[in-house]
Chain A
């Protein structure tokens, strides 16, 4: 296929589907590095294909291997079934539930409190599953909730407005939860948003230990 300047892996996949094999199935949306839909495995590494230049990705003899994301069932070709990824998000109690109603005043949240700074470091996650795909513990332990779900849980655990803290700590503790993280840090290494799920997971471990030893779990 024709090589062009500033060509991305997504460009290549798109070309293949349009000119070489119309049956090729793949996902993309924004194609500008904002939505995370185009995540695939490129030469063994999970990444956003719209943000991966061919020049940076090719190995010897202009070879490039494009595969679907790891750790997820394949629907067809390069498309994976994301249901388990989001189910685990829900199992980790990744939903916010506040205590105020529309009739109450806004809570006064300062952006520079330690808790808020930590939350902000993890809050930009868009659920692209690159970290989930990169994590070996996810491969080895089918029940493991994974870095994204745990990172989201962390951002909510630290949130003073949320009312489900204890419930959430219970949901993310144990073999299926944060305690199975072995700090490989593949998630942190690969996250396209620069988030460190390892940091959030370490935080969860500390919170659970305090709650457990304080009889609050």
Chain B
């Protein structure tokens, strides 16, 4: 199957969605530990300082940005009047994702 732009955009969108769905329960569960008070949360925050965790966080933000970019592309294709520059939407989505990923990387 030829890997043209639209197909790649779909694949990134789908795979990032799957990974996010797997990650989210973990994210929610970790945050829920705040119920046990500030001390437990601090322990958790200390754990998040570890480089591997930071890298994973950055990866997850990138996934989120990629999924958002792909999603905006789908919304544009489905709701906006049809134009010939539809292909460049995939590029725009990718650019957006990258930008967000970089911003987050800088902040970390």
Could you list which residues of chain A lie within 8 angstroms of chain B, going by C-beta atoms? 44-45, 118, 121, 136, 182-186, 188-189, 196, 198-199, 202, 205-206
B1 pairs with A136, CB closer than 8 A: yes
B7 pairs with A186, CB closer than 8 A: yes
Q: A185-B5, A185-B87, A196-B82 are in contact. List 18 more A-B contacts (CB 8 A).
A: A118-B82, A121-B82, A136-B1, A182-B10, A183-B6, A183-B9, A183-B73, A184-B10, A185-B86, A186-B1, A186-B2, A186-B7, A189-B4, A199-B82, A202-B78, A202-B79, A202-B82, A206-B79
* Chain A residues with CB under 8 A of B86: 185, 188, 198
Complex Cα–Cα for A186 and B79 (A):
19
B6 pairs with A186, CB closer than 8 A: yes
Number of A-B contacts (CB under 8 A): 46
Residue from the list A45, A121, A189, A202 in contact with B77, Cβ < 8 A? A202
* Chain B residues with CB under 8 A of A186: 1-2, 4, 6-7
Residue from the list B1, B9, B14, B77 in contact with A198, Cβ < 8 A? B77
- Grouping DSSP codes into helix (H, G, I), strand (E, B) and loop, the B interface class, with mixed when no group exceeds half, is helix
A sample of 22 inter-chain contacts (CB < 8 A) reads: A44-B1, A45-B2, A121-B82, A182-B10, A182-B14, A183-B6, A183-B77, A184-B6, A185-B4, A185-B5, A185-B7, A185-B87, A186-B1, A186-B4, A186-B6, A188-B86, A189-B2, A196-B82, A198-B86, A202-B82, A205-B78, A206-B78
Of the four ranges (under 10, 10 to 19, 20 to 34, 35 or more), the interface on chain B belongs to 10 to 19
* Chain A residues with CB under 8 A of B10: 182-184
* Chain A residues with CB under 8 A of B7: 136, 184-186
- Grouping DSSP codes into helix (H, G, I), strand (E, B) and loop, the A interface class, with mixed when no group exceeds half, is helix
Complex Cα–Cα for A40 and B71 (A):
33
